[in-house]
Amino acid sequence: MKKRKDPFMVAGLIYLGLLLIFAIVWPMLRYHYDQSVGRPFEPPNGKFWLGTDELGRDVLVRVAYGARVSLFVGFVVQAISLTLGVLVGVLGIYSKKWIATPLMRFTDGMFAFPDILLAILIIAIWKAGVIPVIVALAVTAWPAYARLVYTQVATLKDREFAVAAKAAGGSTFYVVTRHILPQLWLILFAVSMVEIAATILAESTLSFLGIGVQPPMPSWGIMIEVARENMNSHPELLLPPCIALSVTIFALNFAGDGLRAYFDPKTR
Amino acid sequence: MRLARAVGFRLLYGLLSLIFITFVTFVANEAAPADPAVIFAGEKASLADVQLIRHRMGLDRPWYVRYGESLWKDAHLDFGNSYYGTQEPVGEILKRDVPLTLRVSLLAILLASAIGIFLGTLAAVYENRFVDRSVLTLSTLGVTLPNFVLAPLLVYVFALRLNYLPQNWEVTRVAPDFFYLLLPVVILAARPMAMLTRLTRASMVDTMRQEFVRMAIAKGVPTFRVIVRHSLRNAILPVITSIGTSFGYLLTGSFVIETIFTLPGIGRETIEAIQARDYPIVQACILVTGMMFVILNMLVDMILPILDPRIREAQV
């Protein structure tokens, strides 16, 4: 029986596709994000579809660049922490006990520390900027993957197919990379969508607080902070970055949760 | 006796978490690109003076000695002095900042728990009906809307447009604190409230399908009593565990909320100290915030065996 696709999931995926194209293409078509191209606080018009900000910069172009920054940080952070998480999770099962036990205890220890505190600590002793944000968020994001991979591999490694592959003379490396991990890619893909949402939220939170992405690079968090300062005179500038950020986080959550249910063999 | 052992283990685990946090902040402070000896010696000090001050501050001893000493000092709430300005002791700064942050977060967690458990129960009782659907939609919004999106929108409506509430915390407050804290607490509570609502609903739906509930209905127990005494009492345990976890979200939120509403709490202090590169303050703030998180989680976990005889029996 073919499973019905969740409409929210489809809508989320379509939105994310469009956002990706917009983030890549739009800045190529329009001028630089940091130039004053009009008068300050122009209302939306034919030239500037979303108007201009306090320095006369095109809001739509800045939203597009903000999307670039957010998506880039989200993808890179999750790629790093996914790799680390898979590595730690598999090592936690297959390596010698004197490696595995401290490794998993350390992973548990990471949960004792609220994520954002550790990220803030890393940025505090390093500096604010894109690279420190990526490193700080990757350092805080991998334990979740490690735990997921650990529990999944623990149950999969004793199933018949894995035991058979081992009995047929496959090395541990072969069994893990060819027989066990391929079972996990789909679920990890779905989980990483939700995790990207968390990363984008964390990035814009840090940028909002002034310790994340630094101007002149635009970020939705910075745009919200600056718009908030001008809220008494021009509250309408709050809308573009707020809507872009909220809808993106919505879409990633719906797409991730939907895909997770869709890939789950139990409900298929 | 079993209870005492369970509590003992939880205390031990909490203590280990605390030591882990002190170690992480100690390492971070070691890695920080600032030499306290140079800073306290002043700009005109010679190299020999700096060496002398380094020796006097004990910074030339091996790291494990200094880590031990820092543990000792942390335990006595001695966090050194601020690098800049009047070089105020960090302990004094914390004494000033922590009460407000605690007040706001505890109010927020109380609000979130009360409303979250109430709405979740309501949604479960009216499963798949209009009430349930609207509660679910609302809680999805609450989970995904970032607090720094929610805050400006609510400030715009209630402070700027309607002029019901003040926009910022002020030193000379004209209205009772309630009015100044209402928006921060509500915004801070939004996300944990939504998470607790979802969790209560899921847990209640599961519990109410079980046989003892059907039995209670069948033997004619009043509906309200079935919901509260028979179902909620069983369903609430995972919710209570996650109240502790959601305190982590509250701490994250307090950085944002205190910045937005200019509340003089520990979150705003941390951000300002990071921008000023005042490392002792940063270290102490992160340490104290992390400790509050661990201790609150520990307290919440210790409530569980008191509430639930099954856990009390199982934890040997």
State pTM to two decimals: 0.86
* Cβ <8 Å between A113 and B160: no
Contacts of A114 in chain B (CB under 8 A): 248, 251-252, 289-290, 293
Residues of A engaging B, defined by a Cβ cutoff of 8 Å: 109, 112-118, 120-125, 197, 201, 204-205, 208-211, 221, 224-225, 227-228, 231-232, 235, 238, 242, 245-246, 249-250, 253
Q: For residues A223 and B190, what is the distance between their CA atoms, to the nearest angstrom? A: 23
- Please say whether the beta carbons of A230 and A237 come within 8 A: yes
* B29 at interface of A, judged by CB pairs closer than 8 A: yes
CATH of the domain at B295: 1.10.3720.10
CA count, 13 A, side-chain hemisphere, B303: 14
How many other CB atoms sit within 10 Å of the CB of residue B310?
12
Residue B217: inside a domain, yes or no? yes
Crossing angle of the two packed helices A115-125 and B266-276, in degrees rounded to 10: 20
**Residue A133: what pLDDT?**
92
Answer yes or no: is B135 within a domain. Answer: yes
* SS3 label, residue B270: helix
The confidence score (pLDDT) of residue B175 equals: 67
Kindly tell me the burial class for residue A39, based on how many C-beta atoms sit within 10 Å of its own C-beta (0-12, 13-18, 19 or more): exposed
DSSP string computed for A89-158: HHHHHHS-HHHHHHHHHHHHHHHHS-HHHHHHHHHHHS-SSHHHHHHHHHHHHHHHHHHHHHHHHHHHTT
Residue B7 lies in a domain: no
Q: Set out the domains of chain A in order of their start, with CATH numbers.
A: 59-147+187-267 (1.10.3720.10)
In a domain, B29, yes or no: no
Q: Which backbone phi and psi does A183 adopt, to 5 degrees? A: -70, -20
DSSP letter for each residue of B220-239: T--HHHIIIIIIIHHHHHHH
- Determine the Cα–Cα distance for residues B289 and B282; give it in Å rounded to an integer: 11
Is the CB of B148 less than 8 angstroms away from the CB of A117? no
Beta carbons of B169 and B180 less than 8 angstroms apart: yes
Chain A contact for B251 (CB, 8 A cutoff): yes
Number of domains in chain B: 1
Task: Give the one of B31, B251, B294 whose C-beta lies nearest to A125's C-beta.
Answer: B31
Identify the bridge partners of residue A58 per DSSP, sorted by sequence position.
Answer: A52
The confidence score (pLDDT) of residue B193 equals 92
Chain B residues in contact with A124 (beta carbon < 8 A): 28, 32, 273-274, 279, 282, 286
Show the tokens assigned to A117: 């505190």
Phi, psi of B86 (to 5 degrees): -85, 10
**pLDDT tens sequence for chain B (316 residues):** 667 777 788 788 888 888 888 888 888 877 777 777 777 777 777 777 777 877 777 777 777 778 888 788 777 777 777 777 777 788 888 888 888 888 888 899 999 999 999 999 999 888 888 888 888 888 888 888 888 888 888 888 887 777 777 777 666 666 677 777 888 899 999 989 999 999 999 998 888 888 888 888 888 888 888 888 888 888 888 888 888 878 877 877 888 898 888 888 888 888 888 888 888 888 888 888 888 888 888 888 778 777 777 766 665 4
Please calculate the CA angle B84-B90-B92 and round it to the nearest 5 degrees: 120
Contact (Cβ atoms closer than 8 angstroms) between residue B182 and residue B190? no
Containing domain of residue B269, as a range? Answer: 99-307
Give ipTM to 2 decimals. 0.83
Look at residue A81 in the predicted model and tell me its pLDDT. 93
Tell if the CB–CB gap between B152 and A221 is shorter than 8 Å.
Answer: no
Consecutive 10-residue averages of pLDDT for chain A (268 residues): 71 89 80 72 73 76 88 93 92 86 84 81 85 91 90 85 83 84 86 90 90 86 88 82 91 87 68
Task: Provide, as residue numbers in chain B, all residues whose Cβ is less than 8 Å from the Cβ of A120.
Answer: 255, 270, 274, 286
Amino acid of residue B286: I
Contact B225, B213 (CB under 8 A): no
